[in-house]
Structure 1
Amino acid sequence: MVRPTAQKDKPTARKNRAADIQTAAIKVFSEKGYSAASLQDLAEEVGLLKGSLYYYIDSKESILFEIFENSNDAVVEIMRLTDAQNLEPRDRLLEYTRQLTYWYLEHRDRASLYFTEWRYLTGEYSDIVREQRRQFISYVRQIIAEAQARGLTAPDVDVNISSVFIMSAVNSVPIWYQSSGPITRDEIAERTAELATRAVFG
């Protein structure tokens, strides 16, 4: 049902509506692809006139960026919670990759967009997301570098290649995962984390 008077929204209602639009955008972008999806598609999904969308968003690109920002916030929180446990490097890498993989599977459409559609961002949006992606790898790199410095890995482990390899493997999970498959999300997260950890610690 189309709302004829978006301008009368109270702050809480406006915030809730913006969240609805982001949820709808994740669905539309996932189904059609960002480049093929239009604001008209988004308006129809959320039940607004196309012109009313601009009361809540600046552009199609801005809503994609907001989706990525929320995803980044979630990953940063996983890092924080992992660090708070004061684990040894091996267990820290295991915990981080397990929790990250599980979050990706719980939010598959959002995560898949992050890894397939980020290239459509331009300007400052692109710069911010690129830096955030580097931080993901940097977090893993720091764990491996610490482990190597403490003699917990083989001396010939390449920190940079290992970091990229692990994050590439974890980041691909929401793209190939099929919810109808025989393996549960918990099992996939656990096995992915174990494989990632073995790549460094054996």
Structure 2
Amino acid sequence: MAKPNIKKTNKSIDKFNKIVDASAKVFREKGYKAATLEDIANEVGMLKGSLYYYIEKKDDLLYAVVERPLNEMTENLKAIVNSSDSPSIKLEKALNNHISSFEKYQSELFVWISIEWFKTEFGGEIATVGDEYDHLFRKIVIDGIEKGEFRSDLDPKLMTFAIFGVYNYMQRWYSPENKYSFDEISKQFNAFVLQGVWSKP
């Protein structure tokens, strides 16, 4: 399936990025299905018809919202997996990459985790990127088991699901008003995961 036909030029990139940011905010607040192009245009401060200079349909914006953080997270994770660090260090860096991405792209990742994109035109494209991220994470767990750093009784697939469950649920409860800093959350969550996977001496 082809990627969306997003009509960007050098002169329009800044405006397009503002549209994507607005789309992420609107999709998070209203849900993708309920959100309209008019809602997004109002958020940006432009006429609805002007959006068609950049996109053809709402699905194009959903893809743009989710693609940006997922690609960045995946490229960072590739570098971690391919490094010479020990599995334990790789896992800690991977966890930090995940939570720092959430800090940077809160609305975008909320939209991704809501999986409203699943049955959209570009759902397959988005799923492919998500699957790559999952497999890279799983590779770290497998490596740790094989090298004896992680418990031998762990199932890599289930362990990866468990990790994502802990971190991704932040989308449901995190708020700047809850007084937990990202640094504090990262330290607590990382310790919880690492202590759970390390093999006993």
Given candidates 60, 63, 69, the residue that maps to 1:62 is 60
Alignment coverage as a number of residue pairs: 192
| Gap change, CA 1:141 and 1:120, over 3 Å in 2 | closer
1:12 Cα shift? 2.9
C-alpha contact (below 8 Å) 1:137/1:167 kept by paired residues: no
1:85 Cα shift? 4.7
Matching residue of 1:174 = 171
C-alpha contact (below 8 Å) 1:61/1:121 kept by paired residues: no
| Gap change, CA 1:160 and 1:99, over 3 Å in 2 | same
- Structure number with bigger Rg: 1
1:184 aligns with 2:184: no
Given candidates 17, 36, 43, the residue that maps to 2:41 is 43
The alignment partner of 2:14 has SS state of: helix
State the AA in 2 paired with 1:101: I
State the AA in 1 paired with 2:16: A
How large is the Cα RMSD of the aligned pairs? 1.9
Matching residue of 1:11 = 9
Distance 1:129 1:75 in 2: 13
Given candidates 120, 123, 133, the residue that maps to 1:136 is 133
State the AA in 2 paired with 1:29: F
Given candidates 147, 154, 159, the residue that maps to 2:156 is 159
* Between 112-121 and 70-79, the greater mean CA deviation after superposition: 112-121
Given candidates 110, 119, 137, the residue that maps to 1:112 is 110
Matching residue of 1:34 = 32
Distance 2:187 2:198 in 1: 16
Q: What CA deviation, in whole Å up to 9, does each residue of 1:110-147 have, x standing for no partner?
A: 11111014445424x11111122222221121111111
State the AA in 1 paired with 2:150: T
Distance 2:86 2:102 in 1: 24
Identical residues among aligned pairs (%) = 24
C-alpha contact (below 8 Å) 2:145/2:151 kept by paired residues: yes
Q: What CA deviation, in whole Å up to 9, does each residue of 1:17-70 have, x standing for no partner?
A: 111111111121122111111111111121222122111112111101111110
Distance 2:9 2:142 in 1: 47
Distance 1:69 1:193 in 2: 26
Matching residue of 1:127 = 124
TM-score normalized by the length of structure 2: 0.86
Runs of 4+ in structure 1 off by over 3 angstroms are 117-121
C-alpha contact (below 8 Å) 2:80/2:94 kept by paired residues: yes
Given candidates 87, 90, 97, the residue that maps to 1:89 is 87
C-alpha contact (below 8 Å) 2:62/2:117 kept by paired residues: no
Show structure 2 runs of 5+ residues with no match: 1-7
Matching residue of 2:3 = none
Given candidates 137, 147, 150, the residue that maps to 1:150 is 147
Distance 1:182 1:16 in 2: 33
C-alpha contact (below 8 Å) 1:57/1:63 kept by paired residues: yes
C-alpha contact (below 8 Å) 1:21/1:46 kept by paired residues: yes
Show structure 1 runs of 5+ residues with no match: 1-9
